[in-house]
Amino acid sequence: MNFFWLLFPIVTGFSLGMTCVLRRYALTRSIIDIPNARSSHSVPTPRGGGVAIVLVFLAALFWLAVQGLTEPAVAYALGGAGASVAVLGFLDDHGHIAARWRLLGHFAAAAWSLFWLGGLPALQVWGLQLDLGWAGYVLAAFYLVWLLNLYNFMDGIDGIASVEAICVCVGAAVLVWVSNGSVAAWLLPLVLAAAVAGFLFWNFPPARIFMGDAGSGFLGITLGVLSLHAAWLNPQWLWCWLILLGVFIVDATFTLLRRLARGDKVYEAHRSHAYQYASRAAGRHLPVTLAVLAINLLWLLPLALCVAAGLMAGMTGVLVAYAPLIGLAAYFKAGALER
C-alpha cells in the first residue's frame, strides 16, 4: 500500500516537470494562443501543455499493465483511444484538421475502446435491468465522442478542465472505497488525477500555459472509458460518474441544444457557455473555477455517494444532480447570442 502513495507524487512530479519543458518549447516555437473575439482570455499564452498529462499517464498505464496491476484489455482501451485522440489534437494544435476528419478519428477511437471493453454493460434503471445489445455499442460510442468534444468545449478558462478532471477522478476513487471495490477500480482514476495535478500547477489562474486540444480531448475520452469500465465492475457506478461529470455535461449539452435550435453552426468557435458568461460577469477566471470545485465537492460528490451506497436510484440521482445545474445554465444564458 505504501507503494501506491509513492506512485502518485512521482506521477505528479513528472507531469509538473514535463509541462515546464513543454512551456519552454511552445515559447521557443511561438506556439501561442493569441486572444481574439472568441477567446475568454486577454493575454497571449503558450498552449499544448496537456501533452504532459498524456505522456505521463500513458507511461504510468504501461507500467501498471506490465506489473499486472490493471487488466490488459483496459490498458489497450485507454492507451489506444487516448493516444490516437491526443495525436489528432496535437496535429490540430500545430495546424488544422477539418472537423469531419477529426470526428471520424474520434469515432474510430471510441470503437477501439468499446471493442476491448465489450461495449456498454446492462443498465439498471429504477430497478429494471436493460441490456441494449448492439444498440448499446452505438449509444456508448456517441457518449464517448460527445464527452471527448464537450471536454474540448469546456476547456475555455484557466484551470477549469483540470479542476473538473481531478474532482471527478478523486470522487470516483472515493466511491470505490465506499463500495469496497478492488484496488484496480480506484488506482487508474487517481493516477490520472495525479498527472493532471502536475499540469494544474502551471494552468491555475492566471494560467502560464493552456492545455490545448491534445490534452482536453485525451481527458474527455479517458474519463469516458474509465466510466464505462467502472460500469462493468458495478452498474451503479456509471450513474455515479454521470453525476460527477454533471457540471461539464449540463453546460455543454444545454449550450449545444440552444445553438442547434437557433440554427447556429455548432462546429464554429464561440464563447457562449454558461461558465464563459460567468467568467466575464466576474471579470476574471478564478471565481468560476473555484465555483466549479465547490459544486463538485459540496453537491455532486455527496449525491454520487448516496447512489453508490444504495440510498438513491442511479437515474434519480442524475435527475436531482442536474436540476440546479440546468437552472444555473439558464441563469447565465448558456447558448444565448453573444452581444
With 0-12 / 13-18 / 19 or more C-beta atoms within 10 angstroms meaning exposed / middle / buried, residue 87 is: middle
Evaluate if residue 75 carries a pLDDT over 70.
yes
Helix (H, G, I), strand (E, B) or coil at 192: helix
Helix (H, G, I), strand (E, B) or coil at 130: strand
Domain count of the chain? 1
**Cβ proximity of 258 and 338 under 8 Å:** no
- Predicted pLDDT of residue 131: 87
With 0-12 / 13-18 / 19 or more C-beta atoms within 10 angstroms meaning exposed / middle / buried, residue 327 is: exposed
- Predicted pLDDT of residue 266: 77
Q: Confirm whether 256 is domain-assigned.
A: no
Cell of 36: 481574439
- Predicted pLDDT of residue 38: 63
| Structure confidence at residue 234 as a pLDDT band (50, 70, 90) | very high
**Mean pLDDT across 138-148:** 97
Q: Confirm whether 222 is domain-assigned.
A: yes
- How far is residue 86 from each of residues 33, 54, 121, 310, measured CA to CA in Å? 18, 7, 26, 37
**Mean pLDDT across 304-328:** 96
What are phi and psi for residue 2, nearest 5 degrees? -60, -30
Evaluate if residue 1 carries a pLDDT over 60.
no
Q: What's the whole-number average pLDDT of the chain? A: 93
Evaluate if residue 188 carries a pLDDT over 60.
yes
Residue whose grid cell is 490488459: 72
Percent of the chain at pLDDT > 90 equals: 78
Tell which wins on pLDDT, 133 or 108. 108
Q: Confirm whether 263 is domain-assigned.
A: no
Q: What is the pLDDT of residues 77-116, one digit of tens each?
A: 999 999 999 999 998 877 778 888 999 999 999 999 999 9
Report the DSSP beta bridge partners of residue 32: 46
**Mean pLDDT across 129-147:** 93
Q: Confirm whether 284 is domain-assigned.
A: no
Residues in the chain: 339
Domain span at 101:
2-31+44-249
The answer for 159, left when phi > 0, alpha when psi is -120 to 50, beta otherwise, is left
| Structure confidence at residue 328 as a pLDDT band (50, 70, 90) | very high
Evaluate if residue 10 carries a pLDDT over 80.
yes
**Cβ proximity of 210 and 31 under 8 Å:** no
**Helices 212-233 & 183-203, crossing angle to 10 degrees?**
160
Q: What is the pLDDT of residues 16-55, one digit of tens each?
A: 999 999 999 999 988 888 776 566 676 888 999 999 999 9
- Predicted pLDDT of residue 88: 94
Query: How open is the CA angle 328-331-332, to the nearest 5 degrees?
Result: 90
- Predicted pLDDT of residue 269: 77
Helices (H), 118-211: 134-154, 160-178, 183-203
Cell of 310: 444504495
Measured between alpha carbons, how far is 238 from 25 in angstroms, rounded to an integer? 39
Measured between alpha carbons, how far is 7 from 9 in angstroms, rounded to an integer? 6
- Predicted pLDDT of residue 2: 57
Q: Confirm whether 290 is domain-assigned.
A: no
pTM: 0.96
Q: Confirm whether 147 is domain-assigned.
A: yes
For 67, other C-beta atoms within 10 Å of its C-beta total 9
Measured between alpha carbons, how far is 117 from 75 in angstroms, rounded to an integer? 10
Q: What is the pLDDT of residues 258-305, one digit of tens each?
A: 999 998 887 777 899 999 999 999 999 999 999 999 999 999 999 999
Q: Confirm whether 109 is domain-assigned.
A: yes
Q: Confirm whether 299 is domain-assigned.
A: no
Tell which wins on pLDDT, 7 or 185. 7
Query: Which is it for the CA torsion 234, 236, 237, 238, positive or negative?
Result: positive
- Predicted pLDDT of residue 263: 87
- Predicted pLDDT of residue 276: 96
